Amino acid sequence: MFKSIVKWFSLVVVVWSQLVGNVSAAEPVASEVGFRRDVMPVLFRAGCNSGTCHGSARGKDGFMLSLFGYDAKGDYERIVNEIVGRRVNTAAPEQSLLLLKATGAVAHTGGKLFANDSEHYQTLLRWITQGAPDDSDKVPETVAVILSEDRLMFEKAGVGKALKVNARASDGSTRDVTKLARFFSNNESVAKIDANGMVTSTGPGDTNVFARFSRFTTGAEVIVLPPESGFKWPNPPEVNFIDKLVFERLNKLRVAPSELCDDSTFLRRVTLDLAARTPTIAEYDSFIADTKPNKRAVKIDELLANDAFADFWTAIWGEQLRIMGGDYAPVGTLVKAADTYYEWIRKQMRAGRPLNEFVAEMVASSGSNLSNGPVNLYTMLVHKPQFEPKSFAADFSQVFLGVQIQCAECHNHPFDRWTMDDYYGFVSFFTGMKRKPGVEPRERRIFCDPTAAPARHLVDGRPMPAKVLGSIDPVKTTGDPRKELAVWLTSPENEMFSRNLANRIWAQLLGRGIIEPVDDVRASNPPVNGPLLDALSKRLVESKFDLRTLVRDICNSRVYQLSAKPNPSNFRDTRQFSHAHLRKLRADVLLDSVIVVTGVKRGFSGFPEGTRAIDYYPRSGGTEGPNFGDAFFATFGRSSRGTVCACETKREPTLSQTLHMAVGDTVRDRLNAGGVIKKMVDDKFTPDQIIENLYIRTLCRPPNAEEKVAMRSLVGDAVKDTSAYEDIFWSLLNCSEFAFNH
């Protein structure tokens, strides 16, 4: 009641001041200023509701706003009614703390934000003068933000161009919001953008600049060309659409691709990528001796047809889906379930089942986790004693869409279009998921209760019926909503799904995604080559989501087969695939390669003899924290399956890894145990033949002239002394060339 009286009195004062002449009768009355339409954009532009200011989880200096204005109703209450007459003083508008602090007239942690004669100040002043009205029932919602340019190209540094930002509302109207948007650049060493949208080139390269208004972030690509300096495009041959799109991009950037890699490099690269091991000597001899012009394509087909390819992708999916035995029940309880799940995935990969069907079956599955493998999506993806819809929805979105929607749980996503409505609508697909005991202690039966209540919105407690991301309306179903989710998710029309799969497949073969990280797809992290990602996604859909078809296209492209050796124009390139990237071998691939090279197998606890490292997964873990299942994997960065994040697989070399390879049992105990050297000595191989054999065995190439001289001097006259050869073998297994794919 007191608040109402104060507001009524303030309005009377304003009207009275106008009547007695503070505002001339001949002067037109300013149009009404709205809180949502006009005031909140000013607060956003000034940074008041950013995460580093009053938009933080606890606010700042006793005043809290919703992050980037996701809770307009709450913000209005806190600004106008929380401390009546102070933050907003309608009786004396110029004395409102909202104005005094923003202009630096009184102490303000955030400093001076704008001047008294600025448009932002005048907007706030007019709003307060008009009685600080709320406009909750009047304002059309912003539905899109559009930049005046989607691509800028500068011939040199130091050139500028202004961008304009327009917002389109739900009533079809548009307005210029350039002065209300916030701008940022992904790489200021290439291009900067100031607070008014002026883009200035700073150095050669490519980047993106962005504008954010309301809940939308939109960007423009910026290319700054290097000096021509006699650059001439070498016009390399194009094998397929991949080469065309990559080379078009490189040509624009005045970056020449490297030369084609040689046969031995290609053989090692493609065998590591498709069979998860180094080539054997027999494979090397056969491939090098082959003179057919299409031998690389033939080799790719041969590797794709081998079970090792399917097994490797089973391991990759096993990591993404966090397959582990043991979890919320006594250790070992889920071992059988994990085996069932893993073998089901292996069967799908070996049969070449379309990836959309493979995923759809998991999404809609129900039943026993011991007899129905795909239902373990709901036991493995989130390792918790009780099923948690929020955690599951976040991990589900990250794995199958590459979208980290969990950022919208407590507020609208700060760097993407997803709102809290999107988040809680998506969570509602899983609120009905239940686990109940089966007929034996190890069994869980997974099912969906269609009568379960949907998730409730964090801000106002509204029930949020299940709806897919990007949709306005909820799904129309009275049963299990996951069936509708599976249809939408894996539909050929759902580009989020096909682009995510295509990007992950590309990253597996090229060492980095077109969007990187692969599981952080958002407006402010755009692809480095949008047309390429679109084409790969389209190809995947056209092939009916056939994994081997897309892998075949990528491996046959000249881009995949480029040398890792840079040239003067591309040695700085880390984004545009102008040369092969040096890629540290995954822990399991490295271990399997050591086994192939030395001929000495390695056992894994709980798995049958002969199990490859790529087929091994932890037998216990989950609630205990990160679990690698094996000390070698812990040292060499294999995913602990602690989360679904792609960052769980570590590719960075460490000192511990170097020490392990140098003095650990993985290499030390295998140098002579396999009898590789002894057999060659017994078969009367010459020193040169033994040295060449060891080089081909480990590095898939013969030694060069300098290496031959150096290695031969190590052997000396003791041609039958195996220890000298063991030293060479040890050094090859410990060199960087062996530990990296290149």
Q: How far apart are CA 30 and CA 540, in angstroms?
A: 57
Q: Region 99-113: what's the mean pLDDT? A: 92
Q: Show the tokens assigned to 578.
A: 């102008």
The CATH number of domain 142-224 is 3.40.50.2300: no
Q: Show the tokens assigned to 60.
A: 């700042």
As a whole-number percent, the residues of the chain with pLDDT over 90 amount to: 72
Least confident of 3-12, 136-145, 252-261: 3-12
pLDDT at 83: 87
pLDDT band at 627 (very low <50, low <70, confident <90, very high): low
pLDDT at 334: 57
Where do you find CATH 2.60.40.1080 in the chain? 142-224
Least confident of 42-46, 337-341, 419-423, 713-717: 713-717
With beta carbons less than 8 A apart as the criterion, state whether 38 and 127 touch. Answer: yes
Q: What is the pLDDT of residues 61-76, one digit of tens each?
A: 889 998 888 888 999 9
Measure the CA angle with vertex 288, ends 286 and 289; round to 5°: 65
Q: What is the pLDDT of residues 326-370, one digit of tens each?
A: 544 333 445 788 899 999 999 999 999 999 999 999 999 999 999
Q: What is the pLDDT of residues 396-417, one digit of tens each?
A: 999 999 999 998 888 888 878 8
Measure the CA angle with vertex 258, ends 732 and 697; round to 5°: 20
pLDDT band at 624 (very low <50, low <70, confident <90, very high): very low
Place of tokens 């040689």: 262
pLDDT band at 463 (very low <50, low <70, confident <90, very high): very high
With beta carbons less than 8 A apart as the criterion, state whether 140 and 154 touch. Answer: no
Side-chain-side CA neighbours of 180 within 13 Å: the count stands at 24
Checking 701-704 for CB contacts under 8 A at 24+ apart, the result is 701/264, 701/265, 701/268
**For residue 16, is pLDDT > 70?**
no
pLDDT at 346: 97
CA 346 to each of CA 353, 374, 569, 614: distance values in angstroms, whole numbers, following the listed order: 10, 12, 43, 12
Hey, is 598 helix, strand or coil? Answer: helix
The string of DSSP codes covering 62-98 is TB---GGGS-HHHHHIIIIITTTTTSS-SSSGGG-HH
**For residue 3, is pLDDT > 50?**
no
Q: What is the pLDDT of residues 298-308, one digit of tens each?
A: 999 999 999 99
SS (H, E, C) 633-644: HHHHCCCCCCCC
With beta carbons less than 8 A apart as the criterion, state whether 712 and 691 touch. Answer: yes
pLDDT at 641: 86
- The pLDDT mean for the chain works out to 90
**For residue 429, is pLDDT > 50?**
yes
Q: Region 665-677: what's the mean pLDDT? A: 88
